[in-house]
Protein backbone atom coordinates (compact mmCIF):
# COMPACT_ATOMS: atom_id res chain seq x y z
CA UNK A 1 0.00 0.00 0.00
CA UNK A 2 1.26 3.47 -0.87
CA UNK A 3 1.73 6.32 1.55
CA UNK A 4 -1.56 7.66 2.97
CA UNK A 5 -1.99 11.38 3.36
CA UNK A 6 -4.69 13.95 3.96
CA UNK A 7 -4.21 16.38 1.10
CA UNK A 8 -5.77 19.29 -0.69
CA UNK A 9 -6.59 18.49 -4.32
CA UNK A 10 -4.22 20.97 -5.93
CA UNK A 11 -1.36 19.88 -3.68
CA UNK A 12 -2.10 16.22 -4.30
CA UNK A 13 -1.97 16.90 -8.03
CA UNK A 14 1.41 18.59 -7.62
CA UNK A 15 2.72 15.79 -5.39
CA UNK A 16 1.58 13.27 -7.99
CA UNK A 17 3.45 15.18 -10.69
CA UNK A 18 6.69 14.91 -8.70
CA UNK A 19 6.08 11.21 -8.01
CA UNK A 20 5.19 10.52 -11.65
CA UNK A 21 8.73 11.60 -12.55
CA UNK A 22 7.68 14.76 -14.37
CA UNK A 23 10.63 16.66 -15.82
CA UNK A 24 9.16 20.15 -15.88
CA UNK A 25 6.22 22.32 -14.94
CA UNK A 26 5.57 25.74 -16.46
CA UNK A 27 2.65 27.72 -15.08
CA UNK A 28 1.12 31.01 -14.12
CA UNK A 29 -0.83 31.78 -10.93
CA UNK A 30 -4.61 31.81 -11.08
CA UNK A 31 -7.23 31.03 -8.46
CA UNK A 32 -8.33 28.34 -7.63
CA UNK A 33 -5.24 26.38 -8.66
CA UNK A 34 -2.22 28.45 -7.59
CA UNK A 35 -1.30 25.84 -4.96
CA UNK A 36 -0.06 23.57 -7.74
CA UNK A 37 2.76 25.95 -8.65
CA UNK A 38 3.35 26.87 -5.00
CA UNK A 39 3.64 23.25 -3.91
CA UNK A 40 5.96 22.39 -6.79
CA UNK A 41 8.12 25.48 -6.16
CA UNK A 42 8.50 24.28 -2.59
CA UNK A 43 9.16 20.59 -3.12
CA UNK A 44 9.92 19.51 -6.67
CA UNK A 45 13.43 20.64 -7.53
CA UNK A 46 15.09 19.41 -4.36
CA UNK A 47 13.43 16.00 -4.61
CA UNK A 48 13.80 15.09 -8.27
CA UNK A 49 15.51 18.02 -9.98
CA UNK A 50 12.25 18.76 -11.77
CA UNK A 51 12.28 22.13 -13.54
CA UNK A 52 9.71 24.58 -12.17
CA UNK A 53 9.21 27.90 -13.87
CA UNK A 54 6.65 30.63 -13.27
CA UNK A 55 5.97 32.04 -16.71
CA UNK A 56 4.92 35.62 -17.48
CA UNK A 57 1.54 34.46 -18.78
CA UNK A 58 -0.44 31.35 -19.60
CA UNK A 59 0.44 32.00 -23.24
CA UNK A 60 4.14 31.83 -22.44
CA UNK A 61 3.58 28.81 -20.17
CA UNK A 62 1.89 26.69 -22.83
CA UNK A 63 4.60 27.60 -25.31
CA UNK A 64 7.28 26.58 -22.83
CA UNK A 65 5.36 23.31 -22.62
CA UNK A 66 5.50 23.10 -26.42
CA UNK A 67 9.27 23.63 -26.41
CA UNK A 68 10.12 21.39 -23.48
CA UNK A 69 7.60 18.74 -24.52
CA UNK A 70 9.13 18.69 -27.98
CA UNK A 71 12.38 17.46 -26.44
CA UNK A 72 10.55 14.32 -25.27
CA UNK A 73 10.45 15.30 -21.61
CA UNK A 74 7.48 14.72 -19.31
CA UNK A 75 6.03 18.20 -18.99
CA UNK A 76 3.00 19.61 -17.28
CA UNK A 77 1.07 22.80 -16.69
CA UNK A 78 -2.09 23.72 -14.87
CA UNK A 79 -4.43 26.66 -14.84
CA UNK A 80 -8.05 27.62 -14.40
CA UNK A 81 -10.63 28.55 -16.99
CA UNK A 82 -9.54 32.01 -18.21
CA UNK A 83 -5.93 30.85 -18.25
CA UNK A 84 -6.84 27.68 -20.13
CA UNK A 85 -8.61 29.84 -22.71
CA UNK A 86 -5.34 31.67 -23.25
CA UNK A 87 -3.58 28.34 -23.82
CA UNK A 88 -5.88 27.18 -26.60
CA UNK A 89 -3.71 28.38 -29.50
CA UNK A 90 -0.71 26.61 -28.02
CA UNK A 91 -2.72 23.45 -27.43
CA UNK A 92 -3.77 23.39 -31.06
CA UNK A 93 -0.09 23.57 -32.09
CA UNK A 94 0.85 20.93 -29.51
CA UNK A 95 -1.89 18.56 -30.66
CA UNK A 96 -0.96 19.04 -34.31
CA UNK A 97 2.76 18.59 -33.63
CA UNK A 98 1.88 15.53 -31.51
CA UNK A 99 3.75 16.62 -28.43
CA UNK A 100 2.83 14.68 -25.28
CA UNK A 101 2.00 16.80 -22.26
CA UNK A 102 -0.33 16.94 -19.30
CA UNK A 103 -2.42 19.88 -18.22
CA UNK A 104 -4.96 20.37 -15.49
CA UNK A 105 -7.88 22.75 -15.72
CA UNK A 106 -9.16 23.51 -12.23
CA UNK A 107 -12.36 24.96 -13.60
CA UNK A 108 -14.05 28.04 -12.18
CA UNK A 109 -17.42 29.43 -13.15
CA UNK A 110 -17.51 31.64 -16.23
CA UNK A 111 -17.89 33.16 -18.70
CA UNK A 112 -15.38 35.99 -18.68
CA UNK A 113 -13.50 36.52 -15.49
CA UNK A 114 -16.53 34.85 -13.93
CA UNK A 115 -15.91 33.73 -10.39
CA UNK A 116 -13.27 31.91 -8.43
CA UNK A 117 -15.91 29.40 -7.32
CA UNK A 118 -16.04 25.99 -9.03
CA UNK A 119 -17.68 25.25 -12.35
CA UNK A 120 -17.88 22.63 -15.07
CA UNK A 121 -18.51 25.10 -17.82
CA UNK A 122 -15.32 24.32 -19.77
CA UNK A 123 -16.59 20.86 -20.76
CA UNK A 124 -17.20 21.71 -24.41
CA UNK A 125 -13.90 23.60 -24.71
CA UNK A 126 -12.04 20.63 -23.24
CA UNK A 127 -13.75 17.83 -25.12
CA UNK A 128 -14.42 19.28 -28.56
CA UNK A 129 -11.00 20.74 -29.30
CA UNK A 130 -11.03 24.21 -27.77
CA UNK A 131 -8.60 25.88 -30.13
CA UNK A 132 -8.64 26.14 -33.91
CA UNK A 133 -8.61 23.16 -36.23
CA UNK A 134 -9.65 19.52 -35.90
CA UNK A 135 -7.95 18.08 -32.85
CA UNK A 136 -8.75 16.41 -29.57
CA UNK A 137 -7.30 16.30 -26.11
CA UNK A 138 -7.71 13.17 -24.04
CA UNK A 139 -9.78 14.47 -21.10
CA UNK A 140 -9.91 12.81 -17.68
CA UNK A 141 -12.54 13.95 -15.19
CA UNK A 142 -11.63 13.07 -11.59
CA UNK A 143 -14.33 12.92 -8.92
CA UNK A 144 -12.04 12.61 -5.92
CA UNK A 145 -8.64 13.71 -4.71
CA UNK A 146 -7.52 10.11 -5.17
CA UNK A 147 -8.35 10.37 -8.85
CA UNK A 148 -6.57 13.73 -9.04
CA UNK A 149 -3.47 11.79 -8.01
CA UNK A 150 -4.03 8.66 -10.08
CA UNK A 151 -4.90 10.58 -13.24
CA UNK A 152 -1.57 12.40 -13.21
CA UNK A 153 0.17 9.06 -13.71
CA UNK A 154 -2.48 7.80 -16.13
CA UNK A 155 -2.43 11.13 -17.95
CA UNK A 156 1.32 11.00 -18.59
CA UNK A 157 1.03 7.37 -19.73
CA UNK A 158 -1.74 8.22 -22.21
CA UNK A 159 0.07 11.38 -23.38
CA UNK A 160 3.14 9.38 -24.34
CA UNK A 161 1.23 6.36 -25.63
CA UNK A 162 -0.61 8.52 -28.16
CA UNK A 163 1.76 11.51 -28.42
CA UNK A 164 -1.18 13.70 -27.50
CA UNK A 165 -1.95 16.37 -24.90
CA UNK A 166 -4.00 15.08 -21.97
CA UNK A 167 -6.15 17.29 -19.78
CA UNK A 168 -7.31 16.64 -16.25
CA UNK A 169 -10.65 18.46 -16.16
CA UNK A 170 -11.31 19.14 -12.53
CA UNK A 171 -12.88 22.03 -10.64
CA UNK A 172 -12.40 24.49 -7.82
CA UNK A 173 -13.92 22.21 -5.19
CA UNK A 174 -11.70 19.25 -6.00
CA UNK A 175 -8.75 21.63 -6.20
CA UNK A 176 -9.40 23.12 -2.80
CA UNK A 177 -10.93 20.36 -0.66
CA UNK A 178 -8.96 17.88 1.41
CA UNK A 179 -9.36 14.12 1.32
CA UNK A 180 -7.41 11.05 2.22
CA UNK A 181 -5.25 9.86 -0.65
CA UNK A 182 -2.99 6.95 -1.27
CA UNK A 183 0.11 8.15 -3.07
CA UNK A 184 1.96 5.94 -5.53
CA UNK A 185 5.69 5.44 -5.05
CA UNK A 186 8.22 7.76 -6.66
CA UNK A 187 8.82 6.92 -10.31
CA UNK A 188 12.33 7.94 -11.37
CA UNK A 189 12.59 10.59 -14.08
CA UNK A 190 13.13 8.90 -17.42
CA UNK A 191 16.46 9.13 -19.22
CA UNK A 192 14.98 7.76 -22.41
CA UNK A 193 14.95 10.07 -25.41
CA UNK A 194 12.05 9.40 -27.80
CA UNK A 195 13.16 9.02 -31.42
CA UNK A 196 11.16 12.09 -32.47
CA UNK A 197 12.55 14.46 -29.82
CA UNK A 198 14.36 17.67 -30.76
CA UNK A 199 17.48 17.30 -28.64
CA UNK A 200 20.21 18.13 -31.15
CA UNK A 201 20.77 16.14 -34.33
CA UNK A 202 23.51 13.50 -34.15
CA UNK A 203 25.10 12.49 -37.47
CA UNK A 204 23.33 9.12 -37.19
CA UNK A 205 19.81 10.29 -37.82
CA UNK A 206 17.72 12.72 -39.86
CA UNK A 207 16.86 16.00 -38.17
CA UNK A 208 13.77 16.10 -35.96
CA UNK A 209 11.31 18.90 -36.53
CA UNK A 210 8.37 19.94 -34.37
CA UNK A 211 5.98 21.82 -36.56
CA UNK A 212 2.28 22.12 -37.21
CA UNK A 213 2.76 23.86 -40.54
CA UNK A 214 2.29 22.45 -43.99
CA UNK A 215 1.77 25.01 -46.71
CA UNK A 216 0.66 22.34 -49.18
CA UNK A 217 -2.93 21.19 -48.57
CA UNK A 218 -2.36 17.59 -49.71
CA UNK A 219 0.16 16.65 -47.01
CA UNK A 220 -1.77 18.76 -44.49
CA UNK A 221 -4.88 16.72 -45.20
CA UNK A 222 -2.81 13.54 -44.86
CA UNK A 223 -1.63 14.72 -41.45
CA UNK A 224 -5.21 15.48 -40.46
CA UNK A 225 -6.20 11.98 -41.51
CA UNK A 226 -3.38 10.58 -39.40
CA UNK A 227 -4.61 12.60 -36.40
CA UNK A 228 -8.20 11.49 -36.94
CA UNK A 229 -7.12 7.85 -37.17
CA UNK A 230 -5.33 8.30 -33.87
CA UNK A 231 -8.46 9.79 -32.26
CA UNK A 232 -10.52 6.80 -33.50
CA UNK A 233 -7.93 4.54 -31.90
CA UNK A 234 -8.21 6.50 -28.65
CA UNK A 235 -12.01 6.25 -28.83
CA UNK A 236 -11.70 2.50 -29.26
CA UNK A 237 -9.18 1.89 -26.48
CA UNK A 238 -9.43 4.51 -23.80
CA UNK A 239 -13.06 4.97 -22.80
CA UNK A 240 -13.38 4.88 -19.03
CA UNK A 241 -16.71 5.02 -17.25
CA UNK A 242 -18.15 4.13 -13.87
CA UNK A 243 -21.68 2.73 -13.73
CA UNK A 244 -23.42 2.19 -10.40
CA UNK A 245 -26.67 0.21 -9.97
CA UNK A 246 -27.70 0.73 -13.59
CA UNK A 247 -28.91 -2.86 -14.13
CA UNK A 248 -32.59 -2.92 -13.23
CA UNK A 249 -32.74 0.84 -12.64
CA UNK A 250 -35.82 2.83 -13.67
CA UNK A 251 -33.89 6.07 -13.93
CA UNK A 252 -30.23 6.86 -14.49
CA UNK A 253 -28.54 9.93 -13.08
CA UNK A 254 -25.49 11.03 -14.98
CA UNK A 255 -22.77 13.51 -14.17
CA UNK A 256 -18.98 13.89 -14.33
CA UNK A 257 -16.47 14.96 -11.70
CA UNK A 258 -17.76 16.66 -8.58
CA UNK A 259 -21.42 16.56 -9.64
CA UNK A 260 -21.21 12.77 -9.85
CA UNK A 261 -20.40 12.78 -6.12
CA UNK A 262 -23.43 14.98 -5.50
CA UNK A 263 -25.58 12.69 -7.65
CA UNK A 264 -24.46 9.67 -5.65
CA UNK A 265 -26.01 11.32 -2.59
CA UNK A 266 -29.11 12.35 -4.55
CA UNK A 267 -29.50 8.76 -5.74
CA UNK A 268 -29.45 7.61 -2.11
CA UNK A 269 -32.29 10.01 -1.38
CA UNK A 270 -34.21 8.46 -4.30
CA UNK A 271 -33.51 4.93 -3.12
CA UNK A 272 -34.75 5.82 0.37
CA UNK A 273 -38.08 6.56 -1.30
CA UNK A 274 -38.04 3.27 -3.19
CA UNK A 275 -37.07 4.67 -6.58
CA UNK A 276 -34.58 2.53 -8.50
CA UNK A 277 -31.86 4.92 -9.62
CA UNK A 278 -28.51 4.16 -11.22
CA UNK A 279 -25.58 6.42 -12.05
CA UNK A 280 -23.35 6.74 -15.10
CA UNK A 281 -20.16 8.70 -14.46
CA UNK A 282 -17.95 9.30 -17.48
CA UNK A 283 -14.33 9.21 -16.30
CA UNK A 284 -12.96 10.04 -19.72
CA UNK A 285 -15.14 12.82 -21.10
CA UNK A 286 -13.15 12.54 -24.30
CA UNK A 287 -13.33 9.78 -25.43
CA UNK A 288 -16.94 9.84 -24.23
CA UNK A 289 -18.63 6.61 -23.12
CA UNK A 290 -21.58 6.82 -25.53
CA UNK A 291 -22.13 3.06 -25.35
CA UNK A 292 -22.83 3.12 -21.63
CA UNK A 293 -25.89 5.26 -22.39
CA UNK A 294 -26.94 3.27 -25.46
CA UNK A 295 -26.85 0.11 -23.37
CA UNK A 296 -29.50 1.37 -20.95
CA UNK A 297 -31.45 3.69 -23.29
CA UNK A 298 -34.17 1.12 -24.04
CA UNK A 299 -34.35 -0.12 -20.47
CA UNK A 300 -34.94 2.96 -18.35
CA UNK A 301 -37.70 5.55 -18.06
CA UNK A 302 -35.26 8.41 -18.35
CA UNK A 303 -31.81 9.90 -17.89
CA UNK A 304 -31.19 12.80 -15.56
CA UNK A 305 -28.06 14.78 -16.36
CA UNK A 306 -26.65 17.11 -13.69
CA UNK A 307 -23.83 19.56 -14.36
CA UNK A 308 -22.39 22.80 -13.02
CA UNK A 309 -23.03 24.55 -16.31
CA UNK A 310 -25.90 25.23 -18.71
CA UNK A 311 -25.93 21.70 -20.14
CA UNK A 312 -22.70 20.95 -21.95
CA UNK A 313 -22.18 17.21 -21.44
CA UNK A 314 -25.91 17.01 -22.12
CA UNK A 315 -25.16 17.07 -25.85
CA UNK A 316 -23.02 13.95 -25.54
CA UNK A 317 -25.54 12.23 -23.26
CA UNK A 318 -28.22 12.79 -25.88
CA UNK A 319 -25.92 11.42 -28.57
CA UNK A 320 -25.53 8.30 -26.45
CA UNK A 321 -29.25 7.93 -25.74
CA UNK A 322 -30.20 8.74 -29.35
CA UNK A 323 -33.78 9.68 -28.55
CA UNK A 324 -34.62 6.27 -27.11
CA UNK A 325 -35.44 7.63 -23.67
CA UNK A 326 -36.23 11.06 -22.23
CA UNK A 327 -33.20 13.07 -21.11
CA UNK A 328 -33.72 15.83 -18.57
CA UNK A 329 -31.16 18.27 -17.28
CA UNK A 330 -30.49 20.18 -14.10
CA UNK A 331 -27.61 22.62 -13.84
CA UNK A 332 -26.23 25.40 -11.70
CA UNK A 333 -23.99 28.07 -13.15
CA UNK A 334 -21.63 30.84 -12.19
CA UNK A 335 -19.87 28.96 -9.41
CA UNK A 336 -22.97 27.59 -7.65
CA UNK A 337 -22.85 23.99 -6.40
CA UNK A 338 -26.10 22.00 -6.36
CA UNK A 339 -26.97 20.14 -3.15
CA UNK A 340 -28.12 16.49 -3.24
CA UNK A 341 -31.53 17.63 -1.97
CA UNK A 342 -32.04 20.12 -4.76
CA UNK A 343 -30.84 17.59 -7.34
CA UNK A 344 -33.40 15.08 -6.03
CA UNK A 345 -36.11 17.73 -5.99
CA UNK A 346 -35.34 18.68 -9.60
CA UNK A 347 -35.48 14.99 -10.52
CA UNK A 348 -38.89 14.66 -8.86
CA UNK A 349 -40.18 17.69 -10.72
CA UNK A 350 -38.95 16.58 -14.11
CA UNK A 351 -39.78 12.89 -13.96
CA UNK A 352 -42.31 12.29 -11.18
CA UNK A 353 -44.63 15.25 -11.54
CA UNK A 354 -43.15 16.93 -8.51
CA UNK A 355 -43.57 14.13 -5.96
CA UNK A 356 -41.86 10.85 -5.39
Partner 1 sequence: MSDTMQVAENLVYKKPKTLLDVAMHYCPGCGHSTTHKILCEVIDELNIQSEVVGVAPVGCSVIAYNYLDIDMQEAPHGRASAVATGIKRVLPEKLVFSYQGDGDLAAIGTGETLHTCNRGENILIIFINNGIYGMTGGQMAPTTLENMKSTTTPFGRDVKKMGYPIKMTELVAHLPGTYYVTRQSVHTPANVRKTKAAIKKGFEYQRLNKGTCFIEVVSNCPSNWKMTPIDSNKWLVENMLPFYPLGDIKVPSKEEN
Q: Which is nearer to partner 1, 59 or 337 (CB)?
A: 59
Q: What is the DSSP letter of 263?
A: H
Decide if residue 188 touches partner 1 (CB under 8 A): no
Mask of contacts with partner 1, 87-126, x by CB under 8 A? --xx--x---x-----------------------------
Decide if residue 215 touches partner 1 (CB under 8 A): yes
Decide if residue 201 touches partner 1 (CB under 8 A): yes
Decide if residue 203 touches partner 1 (CB under 8 A): yes
Decide if residue 67 touches partner 1 (CB under 8 A): yes
Decide: 352 and 274 in contact? Cβ < 8 Å.
no
Rounded Cα gap, residues 183 and 2, in angstroms: 5
Sign of torsion, CA 36 133 59 44?
positive
Q: Which stretch binds partner 1 (CB under 8 A): 38-46, 47-55, 163-171, 311-319?
A: 47-55
Phi and psi torsions of 285, nearest 5°: -95, -20
Decide if residue 209 touches partner 1 (CB under 8 A): yes
Rounded Cα gap, residues 347 and 259, in angstroms: 14
Decide if residue 53 touches partner 1 (CB under 8 A): yes
Least separation, in Å, of the C-beta of 308 and partner 1? 31
Rounded Cα gap, residues 93 and 215, in angstroms: 15
Decide if residue 64 touches partner 1 (CB under 8 A): yes
Sign of torsion, CA 118 120 126 132?
negative
Least separation, in Å, of the C-beta of 100 and partner 1? 13
Q: What is the DSSP letter of 333?
A: -
Q: Which stretch binds partner 1 (CB under 8 A): 176-184, 194-202, 229-237, 289-297?
A: 194-202
Q: Which residues, in sequence order, are CB contacts of 186 under 8 Å at separation 6+?
A: 18, 19, 21, 47, 48
Least separation, in Å, of the C-beta of 201 and partner 1? 5
Decide if residue 219 touches partner 1 (CB under 8 A): no
Least separation, in Å, of the C-beta of 204 and partner 1? 9
Rounded Cα gap, residues 317 and 315, in angstroms: 6
Decide if residue 208 touches partner 1 (CB under 8 A): yes
| SS3 of residue 93 by DSSP | helix
Decide if residue 60 touches partner 1 (CB under 8 A): yes
Decide if residue 47 touches partner 1 (CB under 8 A): no
Q: Which is nearer to partner 1, 86 or 181 (CB)?
A: 86
Find the binder of partner 1 among 1, 112, 185, 202 (CB under 8 A): 202
Decide if residue 216 touches partner 1 (CB under 8 A): no
Q: 243 in the Ramachandran plot: left (φ > 0), alpha (ψ -120 to 50) or beta? A: beta
β-pair partners for 302:
251
Rounded Cα gap, residues 72 and 75, in angstroms: 9
Rounded Cα gap, residues 49 and 330, in angstroms: 46
Q: Which is nearer to partner 1, 2 or 133 (CB)?
A: 133
Phi and psi torsions of 241, nearest 5°: -150, 145
Q: Binding to partner 1 (CB under 8 A): which residues in 140-159?
A: none
Rounded Cα gap, residues 305 and 307, in angstroms: 7
Least separation, in Å, of the C-beta of 67 and partner 1? 3
Find the binder of partner 1 among 14, 16, 36, 65 (CB under 8 A): 65
Least separation, in Å, of the C-beta of 46 and partner 1? 17
Decide: 140 and 4 in contact? Cβ < 8 Å.
no
Find the binder of partner 1 among 75, 95, 267, 308 (CB under 8 A): 75
Binding site for partner 1 (CB under 8 A): 23-24, 26, 51, 53, 55-57, 59-61, 63-71, 73, 75, 89-90, 93, 97, 198-203, 207-213, 215
Amino acid sequence: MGELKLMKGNEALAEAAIRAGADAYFGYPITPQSEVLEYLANHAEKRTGMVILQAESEIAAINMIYGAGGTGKKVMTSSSSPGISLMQEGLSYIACSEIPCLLANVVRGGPGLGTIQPGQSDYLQATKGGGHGDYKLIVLAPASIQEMVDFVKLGFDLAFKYRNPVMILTDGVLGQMMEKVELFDQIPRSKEIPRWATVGKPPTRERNIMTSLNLQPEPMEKHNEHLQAKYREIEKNEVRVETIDCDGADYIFTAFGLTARICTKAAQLAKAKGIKVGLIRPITVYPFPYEAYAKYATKVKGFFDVEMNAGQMLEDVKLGVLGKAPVEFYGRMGGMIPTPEEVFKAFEEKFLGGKA
